[in-house]
Amino acid sequence: MTIIPAIDIIEGKCIRLTKGDYNQKTIYNEDPVEVALEFEDAGLKRLHLVDLDGAKAGDVKNWKVLERIASKTKLQIDFSGGISTQKNLEITFSSGADFAAIGSIAVKDEFTFTGWLLAFGPERFIIGADVKDEKIVIKGWTETTSLTVFEMIDKYKTKGVKQFFCTDVNKDGLLQGPSLSLYKKIMNEHPSIDLIASGGVSTTKELEELREAGCKGAIIGKALYEKRILLSELKKFL
């Protein structure tokens, strides 16, 4: 299982939200590059970079942060937040992202997103399934849809997408444990996908449980910043 630390960006700074609420944010570092270098020095190979300004605006905003991290580290980066047009997508890839993590556009405009899969290849994309009570939420977690996470996965795995990350918004930022039962349910229904768990992870024991459940990756954010999980403790997963 791949450990994927998260860096969430607002106004160029490394922050974390609680339950996706923009009014409940904590600034952890003024310079996200410093944080990324710490992750790389600890032996981590991948990074989940979220442009929260972009997610809210529906337009990529913090691509310069992506560019700086990509140029100063060898981390494999997936970037999300505000990728709503092909121009946004091209900026994302040209700024150094290895993968584009797509949420809203895959829900709202299947035709456009399918065109991107054909143009760039499905291996360059991760579907970001942010959920609340198993329903997909979009636009920076501000809008709940009628689409379930299971329907979302089924729709796009047939189009060649293999990687899906699933964040339970009710768990995110609370350090109360991940949605293990949800991930087990997803893996039972879709055993062939690479499922990346996200939200709520607070201990290495929970990481072991996610690995046992079949998750191919786990995104960790607040637990690292609050020192609930030390970077040195992640070595057994590397």
Which positions are catalytic?
8, 130
Q: What is the pLDDT of residue 173?
A: 66
Q: What is the pLDDT of residue 208?
A: 97
> 146 with 158: CB under 8 angstroms?
no
Which residues lie closer than 8 Å to 173 by C-beta, 6 or more apart? Answer: 16, 17, 18, 19, 20, 24, 199, 221, 222
Please tell me the least confidently modeled range out of 13-22, 53-62, 217-226, 227-236: 13-22
Which regions of 169-206 does DSSP assign to beta strands (E)?
Answer: 194-198
pLDDT tens digit string along 102-134? 988 999 899 999 999 999 999 999 998 989 999
What mean pLDDT do residues 168-194 have?
A: 89
CATH assignment of the domain containing 25: 3.20.20.70
State the pLDDT confidence band at 140, using cuts at 50, 70 and 90.
low
> 60 with 9: CB under 8 angstroms?
no
pLDDT tens digit string along 8-34? 999 999 998 877 788 888 899 999 999
Q: What is the pLDDT of residue 124?
A: 98
pLDDT tens digit string along 85-109? 999 999 999 999 999 999 889 998 9
Q: Which residue segment(s) compose the domain that 35 sits in?
A: 2-237
State the pLDDT confidence band at 49, using cuts at 50, 70 and 90.
very high
What is the number of structural domains in the chain?
Answer: 1
Measured in whole angstroms, the distance separating CA 167 from the mean position of its chain's CA atoms is 8
What mean pLDDT do residues 201-212 have?
A: 96
Q: What is the pLDDT of residue 171?
A: 76
pTM of the predicted model as reported, rounded to 2 decimal places: 0.92
Q: What pairing do the DSSP bridges indicate for beta strands 2-10 and 163-168?
A: unpaired
